[in-house]
Structure 1
């Protein structure tokens, strides 16, 4: 608790010097904490103790409490304990004698339960010194040593003197404290007297609250006090004691939500609440161990908002009965004063409101003009209240826009309120939804989107619920941040009076408008008849406009008239009256921007706009200043403003009711005529669309006839691209198909217009997310761009020559297959006819592709039928060969068996046993021959019946395996292999292995009479097939008999020269035919042979 060097005692002092230093320091010390620090520091320093502790008796006199300590570590063995619990400090105090424990274990031996009770180890040595004053025990001083220490007589005497001096100093401190408490009690009594007198005399509640805080601080002592008021859902502090920390002040100043537990509980209870063991952190305050008890006194007046007095006690966890009585008395007195103050305030409000009401009623008189009434209300309030500014707002397009304001409003605020405040600005929104005035104390300008208005401390807003649009009457005060009761009453009274006056004005205005409408209706009928007679059945827009201008000038000779058309966001004059000056006519030709104030306002409202005191410069018609008033009539067709009928008045600055009626009537008539003209134009456009559609259908029908037998998809698409471009301006047509995450160009017609762009689309294509293609691909809706979004799909510098674009999705059998994109080098507005042509064409292309797909399927089936016929023909050939063989090749060994068996039988009968053996050997050979022929026939039969297992097959691997098989079969024959790279094809790997093994085996067998067999294998790529060749350097054959090679049992060499059954090449032919290929052979006698077979690329 105390630092060892807190007193700065010099090192190496003697005991007497330490005692002198302690005596001098205690003489000047009156605070208990300083006394304990002085004594412990001197004792620990003089005896070089490890630690020192002071235990003092509590107020009840039955518990020793740790009051001070000094050590490098907090001593753990000396803790709060009962005097009667048998501890050294209590025993020394009871015996009035010091206790000394000089050796390790001595303390534990005297008090065996001490370590277990404290949970800490006993010191090696210890001194316990009782403190007694005037026979009354005060406590004990304890010194700990971490080593054995024998206390000399001088040390014991020194410690007893220090203990005695500490007792005297503590007694003196207690007396001084009691004296101060008496002084404070007298001050508290005086403060309570002043508070009671103020409660009886004053009605200023904030003054009473401040005095209540003073009384509570003076009577109870160490407490913090706060007074709160509930405003707009937040408990806001209005008075605070001056002892709060900056952290607490910041938190309290921000306010607390209405549902904060300690506030909500007090309001719900409706009476004073005392909370013991209060935890500030649980109530939303920073951790503050000093506060342990809380009192909350709620005030809930019926005619005003809730209030609450909060008292927090420091360094205690409960309230005494006396303290509760003080809080209750002060709170009750404050409550009575609050009721009296509120009653006084209500009387003042009623009087102030009555005065303001009378003043406004007398000043307003019979006025019916809205702005005049607003100005009058502003004048009355400024005369009644001090330093207030007034502004009147109307809601327009989601903004509160100021229409009237007093001349003391700063210029930057005027600029902001003219521009408009958002409709949902918090205080404005609250006022618009309220039936009574809204008063905002401590107004926050930034939160209401008018940061320039921070000069105002408080604001009042009155909602005026009459009229066609919401209105607000607002006041701001500069000199204060809160409205007084009198000021609120005045604002409410004038607000009610203003609302009544404006209701009267609105009724008067409605009556006037109704009268004007009747008059306008009569004049409108006259103007409509005149214009109808002039228009007749005319359908030309400009002719209609000229006739309308003539009618207008016949009705109003003093006006100039112009008819505008909207072109690229510019209103350009198309027709105007003859009296328009040349310089004005030049401006009409150049045009007026679409966002010019009066033009845009008329378009936005869709109704005639009459601009009195017209500002020609604002509408960028600086040469037209001779017109003092202007009218703008938007001509609406199909919900869009297609034209503007403008009238300028040269002889005045205001439009009369009659003039407005004529202009409106003629504008409506011209609008109807334009609608009729537009409908006629639309009929013409529809006719053009039908004609264009028919034209496209006829062209595509002709195209279909021209390519009736075409089945190539891209040929059909290219012809369609050519057809589309022939109907459009210069450009190009690209056909794309998706390939993963990119678009791949499949067909192009027309030069794309930029070499780098051509390379880009050829080599890279476009990303799948390219907007022009992606939108139509995903939605199915064609995309037409009158102004192509350059740079959206490709770098902008490559595509600047393209100005219009269109993209359409191609569907076949309802499935998207590709995108047709068209780019045009000229400006073009895609009209209905263009769209009809393109959409009809792409639809017809889809149908044509479906037909082509059907033709392709038919062709495929035809090919399959031809293949089947070919297989049948081959089977018939093999059947004929088999029939021949059965009658010739198979009979030969049978005849051998029968003939030589008969000879063997005869030789046996004659006893010619050597001939019997010879004849039987021939029979055996013939039977073996018969077995080989039958095995060959079975192999050939199986190869014909086996189903194909088509898959991608590497011929290189098959050749490698065939080489190994041949090497095993002809192990004694040297072979020189020349194998070139072979392709991967689609086929049955097991059957093709049989083909290659047979061909390589034949090649080695028929070249076995050479010293080295030279075998070459290579592949030849053809447009639709692969050709595989196997060449040897063998005996060859007569080319005239090549066709016989692939027949069953067909041989061109004698069996005694080359063994074999004559089935191998027949099997090769059967397998190749099943794959859709062909076999062939080329040779010359003694010049080797080349055997070839083909396989289709498509499998």
Structure 2
């Protein structure tokens, strides 16, 4: 068969798939026309193979070559690989130049030099590359064109055209072939960009779906271990990992990690080693120090790695809680790679680690809450049991029966087991009470009395005054009934205190190994303490009753005395008004009587008396106000403290026009209380803040509220002169003033605040530093004042 483009007698004979057709030979397109056709066709290609198909056929036809191949550079090993071929199999000699880039072969040399090579005959080709025929194992072609494809100085591959006959490459042919190779390079670059963009979009979509699925899955996790397991089940397969770990920290120690996948034995043994410290894992320690991720194509590329680990690719992302605290690490292992970790993979792992941080915090909070709830429930159950026991205590005076009931209560909350209670009798331990099913031989030994040192787990809590828990009972230290104790697998021994002395030791033995969880320990220790209190209460019941009667009588006396004191305060302050008015009146008369004969000395004396009477009048008003507020019953209603502060501000505003004041009033709650009384409290605290900021410009007055759960805390802060915190306990006492005559005041205002807040069931407080301002405030129970 003739090569394409050879003219025959009225026939055109083409290679491969072209049909033979009789008739006149159509005019061959010019090289420029061919190049234009190729350029237009390349504009619509979307795969490398389509590019190769469009380029090779016109190139062969244009210059009369019999075979053509395209060799592309592999990204992984930078070797030439056959990508496309046209022509007869025997003529595809250029395909044998595939392999490592080598300047001894035309394809590799042209690509390294980035220069097109044209060989017009066999001799020229073999003279330039004598290793060609030995290396390829075939006779070199009669002529050849080697066209490198380069894009942005990056070698892509070569187009090689081979001829059966010597060929004189005309300048226009050379330009055509160079342009053809350049167009091929551009098209391949465009296709690569489009495919990369498509892959990025697909990766982003897949990553988003993965992270969304991961978030949904982690929503179901209740414990940190579940979070780690669910995360790895999603991430491992999606990221094509060999294995993955979630490693959590406990201070500087590494907890037992959560594993997924085919974990190499060396890594498994190292990471699950008991007592493993963070410093024992150099790569994790490096990430912990920097809080930055590390990705390595080969684990051993990092300095100071664990020598026994295999040469795998590894990625480590820090897992941080929302507050920034390092919680642990997300680790992925893969076979060692040359291409490196893709940015999209690193981004997915980073976002997964962030999601893990949030989920671990949430699960940790849920677990803590569960533990607290379980502990609270256990304590409640124990206290309920002892509440019943205490209720019956007035009828039951036998301490042994009381201990037995405590044992029964605990055994009802634990797995199957027995309980014993011992008291020290000077030379031996006496078994005072027991509950549960015992083997006869063991019970007989215990009832005979246990000598000192016979059962160490009785003596340890007695001597240390601390509970002693054994998750697996070691019977070797026992000197009595060692064989009989084989049925007991776990024990808890607790000291029982009466009047701060160990009265006895209560022991619980379980028939299976058992981990004493925090809630169970809380139950046991609560019961032991409650039992001690019950025993102590039994001994001191009469004394307590006597003290209670005395306390009631004393309370009644104090209430009567307080009522009398309030009445006295009202009466004395009311009775003092007339003398004070007389003093002021006679001072005025004295001034009028003396008239012009009033000298400076007498004027000063009269001024002192006048000022003193005015001061006394202010004190009397304060006492009357205090007495009235103390005696007046509360009129309870819902009080909007925001509206109260607006009212106070309007009232005080006329006196503050000449002052520069910055008000910061936060959103205040609606509380239950006496509207006028709370108005008086907030007015007093606000005036107090204004009074002590007279020298400040601007004065800053802040009124805030804080939700304490069962109560509201209202605070009034200022940037005034403050006070010495050593004396803060005196601030709310009657007539106590820390600043002498520097600042006006009666010493009654804060006392009235305290009294009114106490009537509402709240407390007052004050905080401050000299020269740094002060905060005065009070609390109000949300349920309102107590019923009196």
Q: Which category of TM-score, normalised to the shorter sequence, fits these structures?
A: 0.3 to 0.5
Which of structures 1 and 2 has the larger relative contact order (alpha carbons within 8 angstroms, sep 6+)? 2
Greater gyration radius? 1
TM-score, normalised with respect to structure 2: 0.42
TM-score, normalised with respect to structure 1: 0.32
